[in-house]
Amino acid sequence: MTPSGAPAQQPPSRRIAEDLRRQIENGELRSGDKLPSERALAGHYGAARNTAREAVRILAEQGLVTAKHGSGVFVRTPQRLFRFGSDRYSLKNRATGLTPFRLEAKRQGKVPRIEVPSIAREKPPADVAERLRVSAEEESVVHRENHYFADDEPVQIVSTYLRWDEAGGTLLMQRKTGKDGIYGRLEDLGHVMTSIRDEISARMPTPSEARVLELLPGVPVLEVLHTSLDQEGVPFEVSRYVHRADQTGLLYELPVEQEA
């Protein structure tokens, strides 16, 4: 606002971006439509090409358009969200023989792929050490990092931390951990998951996360810091899920405690 209380005048690039955004939102420009060239936009709005280029950059940061090298700039097609939540660890899902991610991908008709770029003994981050009840000053955990793809598009990064004194020398150090995955092997060690704690936050990605997830500028991530607790209430696994916020939603259905 100006001192007089009147709205401050927007820069020309933002006015162009707002007009194009309006056209996208009301359907004048539809998913997959190609935007006019910078030269054409500049001529239409009576602006310099640099101004038109900046307007397109603003739209890209807002996730509304995407540039295809050698082809032009196109209105992005909205993606159906991957939804994860309270049923991620349910026995009914395990009975399908599919991991939660593979099951969600199957529901959407997408081909899932999981890469395991590293499995290593490490010093844990402080927040992980606190939740797993291990030392942050020693190499007290096994860190498994997984990258998840749907139709070859990156969707999420999962960093799983397990106690070294339990996981060291077991199948938990291997990329393929056998039937029922890591939770099957943890059950073999006596840890049956009976409750979970998920701490959810939104933030901007680190440069490494942005590279792995191939994020457009300005797209945030959803972080879920997950702790598994066993039948004795002991935390036995902590995983950090980093989801693309433009493709992922979180759905939790929980019972409401009633007064006795």
Q: How many independent structural domains does the chain possess?
A: 2
Domain assignment of residue 148, yes or no:
yes
Residues 160 and 46 in one domain: no
pLDDT tens digit string along 133-147? 999 999 999 999 999
Is 46 in the same domain as 96? no
65: pLDDT strictly greater than 60? yes
Q: Residue 37's domain is classified under what CATH number?
A: 1.10.10.10
**CB pairs under 8 A, 24+ apart, for 145-149?**
145/116, 145/117, 145/118, 145/119, 146/114, 146/115, 146/116, 147/114, 147/115, 147/116, 147/117, 147/212, 148/101, 148/112, 148/113, 148/114, 149/112, 149/113, 149/114, 149/115
166 and 46 assigned to the same domain:
no
Copy the structure tokens of residue 42.
């500049």
Whether residue 193 is found in the same domain as residue 153 = yes
Residues 121 and 236 placed together within one structural domain of the fold: yes
Residue 258 domain-assigned?
A: no
User: In this structure, are 154 and 196 located in the same domain?
Assistant: yes
Residue 2 within a domain: no
Q: 75, 98, 126 — which closes off a domain?
A: 75
The pLDDT of residue 164 is above 80 = yes
Q: What is the mean pLDDT of residues 66-83?
A: 78
Q: Are residues 115 and 193 in the same domain?
A: yes
The lowest-confidence range among 10-14, 86-90, 108-112, 213-217 is 86-90
Same domain, 59 and 130: no
Q: Which has the higher per-residue pLDDT, 174 or 179?
A: 174
Please compute Rg for the chain using Cα positions.
23
Q: Are residues 233 and 152 in the same domain?
A: yes
Q: Is residue 1 part of a domain?
A: no
pLDDT above 90: residue 55: yes
Q: Provide the pLDDT for residue 17.
A: 94
CA distance 42 to 38: 6
Q: What average pLDDT is seen over the chain?
A: 88
| 197: in domain | yes
* CATH code where residue 92 lies: 3.40.1410.10
Residue 79's pLDDT is: 64
- Domain, as residue range, for 37: 12-75
Single residue among 58, 75, 92 that ends a domain in this structure = 75
- For residue range 230-250, list pLDDT tens digits in order: 999 999 999 999 999 888 888
Does residue 5 lie within any of the structural domains? no
Q: What is the pLDDT of residues 187-212, one digit of tens each?
A: 999 999 999 999 999 999 999 999 99
Residue 84: the pLDDT is: 67
